[in-house]
């Protein structure tokens, strides 16, 4: 499941809510603003950050990763439990109050996975990944079998039809060519969309089963040197992964929870197919060399030019005469999973800054998720050192390591569902890293209110390669990326309005994407309405979800010096410290509102394109314009606090109002057809899975052509925007009343921990 959320096609225009004189940057070469800090506290915060930045260490991160990758540790196994126990020991040694929270979940493990070409000649397929003596970890005789979690057990025989990436558009192309997949076994290459959507679309088109393969054009020899001589996927490499329909709801299939049904619905394992997010057709993953054997005998129509990959074969669509026999036997059972929850208690324990990363892996998981885990451990060690030096957090910092992310975001989803009321009342933000380091190129996605905070943090940390700031390297890399400007222009056309918003993001800013899906931020943002971030360093990474994502790969290709692991630890810590220590939370809700208004302005044209009356969009446009006006008033009132003594009780109210802004954008009834997803501004697309859809309820209903449901979705979104506008007016009023008439030792500038 894990992958860095792309979301590059969605951006929002931002404007600062409150910022003071930036002063000197403690780490990077550029000055980095300290938004939300009273002037008299800036020097202390700078000094604290300098201490923090000096602590994370590459050698410690390397030792962490070596330990984390010492054995395969997939969810539902005792090895995963051992990793959780080791993490618990580490956090307690750092001074955190840590515990393991155990849940039970319906998790499959593979027993048998077989594939045979039965016509025009017999040939056994489903070959295992090649062992390489240069990498001893690949020689383990007890490696888990490659499989797709939540594929049902099944045995089917049928002709092959090649469906390219297996997207909605690809099936439309097949329809135009007169090719049906009904009663056939479809073969799709990985990429473009979440694999679970590939399975669901194959199921909806009445295919018997689905075979997934990694095409060298996407992550193999066409990209560069392959493992063990380079970072790309060798011909024998297999991408594992879940096919759970997380686009409907993530988490344990047998205990679904939603706003419409806040208490878990218990489904009897004997009736597991009552679970809406379980596939009904078998799915298996194979390597490129097995796919080449199928293409060698597949005929029918020649595939379109943009359906051709890099295998040494002429790609045909079929059906047949290539025919295969698939057999999959999965061992489904209730299995324990182990979340590690570690707290560094602050003076204000009623406010939490949360960080998270999962610890389960398909095999060794050096990049996914070990690089994120190793880095977050260094962040925690550094924070613990600050506490030993006399610092006490202002707010409570909670670091979480989730189990069973790979099968379907299960550990994080269960924890958020079980603790939703407390999380919604206390959480300030959630910071996620997953595939933390695969190279040197920084990338991030976030709730729009947190975009500027990420840029500021990146300005404050040095980039190991350039010696300048991470932000400067990030922006330089973006400026020279092929098609980067075109992508940003497309984002603007989609309603970002980045260049049109005064004082907000512009064409020269490093891009922060929108959060879609694919990692543990989902339950926080989509279900609980907690502002969230997902970030990491990217590079040439072709061994995703394979045996070869191990320590050898990281040491030779991903981050040989582990300098970027330490750099990621520093960025995570700066983000945590600025959220933890700020007087007024470092969130740009006013800019968020401005971005919503820009995106809403595009809805009438989008409706007209599909024959929908544009007048139906007017309540949304009007509410979004009112929201932007309220945002301007709130921003002005917050800016006026810069030079005033502040009342700490009012500050607490302001911060709670800011932190809960996204909760006003939730729909209690959820999105149509998927009530677990409640966020009305962002959700993963129903047929994309990873990328974010803006205004998902309205936009997806427009395409369905259901007038009654569209009216309901328009009303729900307009009502949410009005609630958010009222919240901004409340923030403006609180800001005006927070200014004390004169300085007093007890309350001047809000220096005491509230």
What distance in Å separates the CA atoms of residue 569 and residue 565, rounded to the nearest whole number?
A: 6
Residue in the block written with tokens 């879609």: 516
Three-state SS annotation for 37-75? CCHHHHHHHHHHHHHHHCCCCHHHHHHHHHHHCCCCCCC
3-state secondary structure of 183: coil
Q: Which residues pair with 443 in a beta bridge?
A: 536
Q: Do strands 323-344 and 283-286 pair parallel, antiparallel, or not at all (unpaired)? A: unpaired
- 405 in active site: yes
Maximum C-alpha span of the chain? 89
What distance in Å separates the CA atoms of residue 530 and residue 292, rounded to the nearest whole number?
A: 45
Encoding tokens for residue 295? 């293409």
User: Helix H segments across 461-562?
Assistant: 470-479, 484-491, 522, 551-553
Cis (ω within 30 of 0) for the bond into 27?
no
Q: Residue 281 contacts by C-beta under 8 Å, 6 or more apart in sequence?
A: 152, 154, 199, 202, 203, 207, 208, 209, 210
How crowded is residue 433: how many other Cβ atoms within 10 Å of its Cβ?
Answer: 31
- Indicate if the alpha-carbon torsion angle 317, 319, 321, 324 is positive or negative: positive
Distances (CA, A) of 228 to 134, 162, 221, 232, 561: 8, 30, 12, 9, 18
Please give the span between the terminal C-alpha atoms of the chain, in angstroms, as a whole number.
40
Encoding tokens for residue 241? 């992964």
What distance in Å separates the CA atoms of residue 503 and residue 510, rounded to the nearest whole number?
A: 15
Alpha carbons within 13 angstroms on the beta-carbon side of residue 540 total: 16
- Give the H/E segment covering residue 693: strand 692-694
Contact criterion met (CB below 8 Å) for 11 and 505: yes
346 alpha-carbon distance from chain centroid:
27
Contact criterion met (CB below 8 Å) for 266 and 254: yes
What distance in Å separates the CA atoms of residue 399 and residue 376, rounded to the nearest whole number?
A: 8
Encoding tokens for residue 7? 């979301």
User: Helix H segments across 640-695?
Assistant: 648-659
Nearest Cα residue to 709 out of 601, 600, 612: 612
Contact criterion met (CB below 8 Å) for 72 and 140: yes
- Give the H/E segment covering residue 243: none
Q: Among 45, 159, 405, 581, which one carries the catalytic annotation?
A: 405
Active centre residues (catalytic): 405
């Amino acid at each position: 499941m894990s992958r860095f959320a792309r979301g590059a096609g969605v951006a929002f225009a931002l404007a600062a809510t409150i910022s003071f004189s930036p002063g000197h940057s403690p780490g990077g070469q550029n000055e980095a603003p300290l938004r939300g800090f009273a002037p008299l506290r800036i020097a202390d915060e700078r000094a604290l950050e300098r201490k923090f930045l000096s602590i994370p260490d590459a050698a410690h991160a390397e030792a962490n990763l070596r330990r984390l990758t010492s054995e395969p540790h997939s969810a539902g196994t005792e090895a995963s439990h051992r990793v959780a126990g080791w993490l618990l020991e580490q956090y307690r040694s750092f001074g955190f109050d840590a515990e393991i929270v155990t849940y039970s979940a319906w998790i499959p493990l593979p027993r048998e996975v077989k594939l045979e070409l039965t016509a025009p000649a017999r040939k056994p397929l489903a070959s295992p990944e090649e062992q390489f003596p240069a990498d001893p970890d690949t020689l383990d005789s007890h490696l888990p079998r490659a499989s797709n979690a939540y594929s049902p057990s099944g045995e089917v025989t049928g002709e092959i039809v090649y469906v390219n990436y297996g997207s909605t558009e690809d099936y439309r192309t097949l329809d135009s060519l007169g090719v049906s997949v009904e009663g056939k076994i479809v073969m799709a290459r990985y990429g473009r969309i979440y694999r679970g959507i590939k399975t669901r679309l194959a199921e909806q088109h009445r295919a018997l089963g689905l075979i997934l393969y990694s095409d060298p054009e996407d992550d193999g020899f066409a990209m560069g040197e392959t493992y063990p001589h380079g970072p790309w996927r060798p011909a024998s490499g297999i991408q594992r992964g879940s096919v759970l329909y997380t686009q409907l709801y993530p988490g344990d299939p047998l205990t679904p929870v939603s706003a419409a049904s806040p208490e878990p619905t218990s489904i009897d394992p004997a009736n597991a197919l009552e679970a809406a997010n379980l596939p009904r057709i078998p799915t298996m993953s194979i390597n490129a060399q097995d796919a080449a054997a199928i293409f060698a005998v597949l005929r029918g129509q020649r595939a379109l030019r943009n359906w051709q990959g890099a295998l040494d074969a002429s790609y045909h669509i079929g059906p047949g005469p290539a025919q295969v026999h698939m057999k999959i036997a999965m061992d489904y059972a209730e299995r324990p999973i182990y979340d590690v929850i570690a707290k560094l208690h602050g003076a204000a324990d009623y406010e939490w800054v949360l960080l998270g990363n999962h610890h389960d892996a398909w095999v060794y998981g050096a990049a996914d998720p070990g690089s994120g885990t190793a880095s977050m451990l260094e962040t925690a060690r550094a924070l613990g050192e600050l506490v030993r030096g006399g610092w006490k957090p202002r707010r409570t910092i909670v670091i979480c390591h989730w189990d069973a992310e790979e099968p379907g975001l299960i550990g994080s989803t269960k924890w958020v569902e079980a603790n939703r009321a407390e999380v919604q009342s206390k959480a300030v933000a959630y910071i996620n890293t997953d595939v933390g380091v695969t190279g040197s190129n920084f990338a991030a996605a976030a709730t729009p209110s947190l975009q500027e905070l990420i840029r500021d943090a990146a300005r404050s940390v040095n980039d190991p390669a350039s010696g300048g700031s991470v932000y400067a390297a990030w922006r330089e890399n973006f400026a020279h990326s092929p098609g980067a400007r075109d992508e940003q222009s497309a984002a603007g056309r989609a309603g970002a309005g980045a260049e049109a918003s005064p004082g907000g993001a512009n064409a020269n800013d490093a891009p922060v994407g929108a959060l879609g899906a694919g990692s543990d931020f989902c339950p926080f943002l989509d279900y609980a309405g907690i502002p969230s971030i997902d970030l990491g360093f990217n590079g040439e990474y072709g061994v995703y979800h394979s045996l070869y994502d191990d320590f050898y790969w990281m040491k030779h290709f991903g981050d040989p010096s582990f300098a970027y692991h330490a750099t990621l630890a520093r960025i995570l810590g700066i983000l945590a410290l600025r959220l933890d220590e700020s007087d007024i939370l470092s969130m740009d809700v006013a800019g968020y509102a401005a971005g919503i208004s820009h995106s809403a302005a595009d809805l009438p044209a989008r409706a007209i394109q599909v024959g929908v009356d544009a007048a139906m969009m007017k309540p949304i446009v009007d509410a979004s314009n009112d929201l932007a006006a309220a945002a301007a008033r709130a921003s002005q009132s917050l800016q006026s606090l810069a030079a005033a003594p502040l009342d700490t009780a009012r500050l607490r109210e302001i911060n709670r109002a800011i932190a809960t802004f996204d909760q006003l954008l939730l729909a209690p009834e959820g999105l149509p057809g998927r009530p677990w997803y409640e966020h009305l501004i962002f959700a993963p697309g129903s047929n994309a899975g990873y990328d974010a859809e803006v205004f998902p309820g309205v936009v997806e209903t427009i395409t369905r052509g259901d007038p009654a449901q569209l009216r309901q979705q328009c009303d729900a979104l307009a009502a949410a925007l009005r609630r958010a506008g009222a919240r901004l007016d409340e923030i403006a009023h609180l800001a005006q009343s927070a200014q004390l008439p004169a300085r007093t030792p007890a309350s001047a500038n809000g220096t005491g921990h509230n």
